[in-house]
Structure 1
Amino acid sequence: MDTSATDFGILIVRVTLGGMLVIHALNKILGPGGLTGTANWFASIGLHPGRLHAYLATTTELGAGLLMCAGLLQPLTSAGFVGLMAVAAFTDHRGKGFFVFKGGWEYVAVVGLTATAVASTGPGRWSLDHVLGVAFHGIPWAIGSAVVGLTGACVVIVAARRPDRPAAEQPVT
């Protein structure tokens, strides 16, 4: 097996995933409506308080994205991706089917599972983990990162999700 080709392939996956998440976070800050618009959107999908979730999601996306690009603390980084994607799947994509062009969950599933795969393979030789001699990867680390990410997502959803309820009907007078 050509390990340099494998390391290059993993680098491409890491930079693609990490770069996508960093750009996603920057859009929450710099895009139309800025962080206030993002906070309002989070509130509209039932995550309250919206401003807190806007900050949490943005900082998690920036941190996990940059760490993925650098190949640093891979299992923790992958857990961040899994958690973000699981919350997105439950709040924004749930009940819309599989296909993302219909609002479905295919995109978030691919991102979360790909991040988990990187936790299994490790970030490769072209990473800060390799430079620092950190070798936390393999099947148990991938499973662990998925469990930690899903647990974090469950905590967020249980603690903060307050679906909007229709106003009580007013009696006719």
Structure 2
Amino acid sequence: MNAGLLLLRLLLAGLLFGHAAQKLLGRFGGGGPDGTAPVFESWGFRPGRPMVLLAGTCELTGAVLFASGAATPLAASVVLGTMIVAAAPNWPNGPWAHLGGYEVPLVYGVLALVLAMTGPGSWSVDHAVGADGMSGVLWALAASAVAGAAAAPALLLRRRSLRAPDPTATGTPEAHA
């Protein structure tokens, strides 16, 4: 079981690291902060660059914590909150990624919750420091609550941003300033 949990942690950490590197460094075909910012803005996450930096930093934090098996409930909260926000623009498309859906953030978020429920296993920092008891359904529920609370401001700002008129679309003088 410990080998399986380690494999699961490292898989999730590697994928999160790749997404973080795309946003923060422009690696793995990513646009870096400046190249990704317009995409975030088109999704309603404005201003784009700070939101990209926040998302990338959260993914990197989750990757480091899961890879080491440290502070697993915190890692789950960070990743799940980030994935809730990441799923929002794709929600109308349904679950399937090939149709532009939210499949990837759903899978990453559920994997984070699974690790909050099971714990990281014996081959982890949590085990080494005696924090093995920080897992189970209650910890997963707590991680979910923190993730939801952390995701709410970004989702509310996105909603407000999408409802506001875009000055660049109206041709107003402010659009050309």
TM-score range, shorter chain: 0.7 to 0.9
**What letter corresponds to residue 22 of structure 1 in structure 2?**
F
Alpha-carbon contact 1:19-1:66 (below 8 Å) kept:
no
SS of equivalent residue, structure 1 residue 95: helix
SS of equivalent residue, structure 2 residue 93: coil
SS of equivalent residue, structure 2 residue 95: coil
Per-residue CA deviations over 1:29-64 (Å, capped at 9, x if unaligned) read: 224532101122111111011111011011111111
Deviation at 1:108, TM superposition (A): 1.5
1:121-160 aligned within 5 A = 121-135=118-132, 136-160=134-158
Count matched residues.
164
Matched, 1:103 2:100: yes
- Pick aligned residue for 1:63 from 61, 64, 71: 61
**What letter corresponds to residue 30 of structure 1 in structure 2?**
G
Matching residue of 1:15: 10
Alpha-carbon contact 1:14-1:123 (below 8 Å) kept:
yes
**What letter corresponds to residue 96 of structure 1 in structure 2?**
N
Alpha-carbon contact 1:82-1:115 (below 8 Å) kept:
yes
Deviation at 1:106, TM superposition (A): 2.1
Instruction: Write 1 or 2 for the structure with the bigger share of helix.
Output: 2
Residues 169 and 26 of structure 1: is their aligned pair in 2 closer, same or farther, counting only changes over 3 Å? closer
Matching residue of 1:3: none
Alpha-carbon contact 2:45-2:51 (below 8 Å) kept:
yes
Over the matched positions of the two proteins, sequence identity in percent amounts to 35
Deviation at 1:169, TM superposition (A): 10
SS of equivalent residue, structure 1 residue 94: helix
Deviation at 1:159, TM superposition (A): 3.4
Instruction: Compute the TM-score of the two structures, normalised by the length of structure 1.
Output: 0.88
Structure 1 residues not aligned, in runs of 5+: 1-5
Matching residue of 1:24: 19
Structure 1 stretches of 4+ with a deviation exceeding 3 A read 164-170
Instruction: Compute the TM-score of the two structures, normalised by the length of structure 2.
Output: 0.86
**What letter corresponds to residue 113 of structure 1 in structure 2?**
V
SS of equivalent residue, structure 1 residue 145: helix
- Pick aligned residue for 1:84 from 70, 73, 82: 82
Per mean C-alpha deviation after superposition, the further-off stretch among 74-83 and 97-106 is: 97-106
Deviation at 1:157, TM superposition (A): 1.3
Report the aligned-residue RMSD: 1.9
- Pick aligned residue for 1:94 from 91, 94, 97: 91
